[in-house]
Amino acid sequence: MDQAAPPDTVVLVHGLWTTPLSWEHWVTRYEQRGLKVLTPGYPGIGPGEDGVEALRRDPSPLAGLGLREVFDHLVEVVAALDTKPLLIGHSFGGTFVQLLLDAGYGAIGVSIDGAPVKGVRALPFSEIRAMFPVLRNPANKNRAVPITEKEFHYAFTNNLSEEESKAVYDRYAVPVSGRILFQGGFAAVTPHAATAYDFANGHRAPLLFIAGGKDRILPAAVQHENYRKNAKHSRAVTAYLKFPDRSHWTCGEDGWEDVADFALDWAFEPTPLDLDRS
């Protein structure tokens, strides 16, 4: 599956509280550039508006869903392709991209506002506040936990007005698997955690971290520590870029095209870099 030419297929991996529908604009933009685009959902999460509505009516597919089940599902999708694709993930989707590259899947990877793998210790207060509604109750570990409009506005769409945020919430927001959040949040004290990652893997594909300077749920400090540990310990190509004025909803708010284009342009010619556009 090794290949010298740039990938002709992009696999977009969504994050928590959303579905593949969150990539709808990126799919169109990348297809216009001649690429095949796949947007696999987590197990039990369907595509399009119907997938969102189905989970709102019945979120039971998310109850008890764990990191390993999602990872194994994504492996099946990627391994079935004829050539290694470009992997781009947002939020926990970025984490899955990082774990897939570590395991040898994917030609290039981009993690946008990614959740930390085990070993990344940055824990800004805004991240704690955004995840606290789920993590405060141990019973949520095996539940599908909804997010309120107010919580969504704080964590995802803080660059938008309440009215604008509500429109985003109404179209995209779904409950979250509490198990995935607990697995990620307590990885540091969990032996053989599902987010275990080899920072010294010199054979992994090139990896770009993109951060948002106004991201509250997964702030730039999280992305930069992840980047620094990779760049320090691995000879593989590693890069970092912060867009200073972007929230966690960077894939959908005004100016998303800049993020989408930078990710794709870098993937076609991956080089080490550490840029802060502040």
Q: The domain spanning residue 91 has which CATH number?
A: 3.40.50.1820
Minimal CA–CA distance to 89: which of 152, 186, 145, 14?
14
Q: What's the confidence (pLDDT) of residue 45?
A: 94
The pLDDT score that the predictor gives to residue 246 is 97
In a domain, 77, yes or no: yes
Q: Say yes or no to pLDDT of 2 above 50.
A: no
Q: Is residue 19 part of a domain?
A: yes
- Distance, in Å, from the CA atom of 183 to the CA atom of 186, rounded to the nearest integer, reads 6
Categorize the per-residue pLDDT at 123 as very low, low, confident or very high, splitting at 50, 70 and 90.
confident
108-112 and 86-90 as β-strands: parallel, antiparallel, unpaired?
parallel
Whether pLDDT at 278 is above 80: no
Domain count for the chain = 1
Q: Taking 90 as the threshold, does the pLDDT of residue 38 lie above it?
A: yes
In a domain, 1, yes or no: no
Residues 244, 215: Cα–Cα separation, whole Å: 9
Residues in contact with 11: Cβ distance below 8 Å, sequence separation at least 6, in sequence order: 37, 38, 39, 40, 74, 77, 78, 85, 86, 87, 88, 106
Would 4 be classed as within a structural domain? no
Confidence check: pLDDT of 274 > 90: no
Instruction: Tell whether 3 is covered by a domain.
Output: no
Tell me how far CA of residue 144 lies from CA of 5, 22, 96, in angstroms: 42, 19, 20
- Mean residue pLDDT of the chain comes to 94
Q: Name the residue range of residue 164's domain.
A: 9-276
Q: What is the mean pLDDT of residues 160-180?
A: 96
Tell me the pLDDT band of 92, cut-offs 50, 70 and 90. very high
Residue 129 pLDDT exceeds 90 = no
Tell me 249's DSSP state. T
Q: For 147-175, what is the mean pLDDT?
A: 97
The confidence band for 1, taking pLDDT boundaries of 50, 70 and 90, is very low
In the chain, what percentage of residues exceed pLDDT 70? 98
- Asked whether residue 81 is domain-assigned, the answer is yes
The answer to pTM > 0.75 is: yes
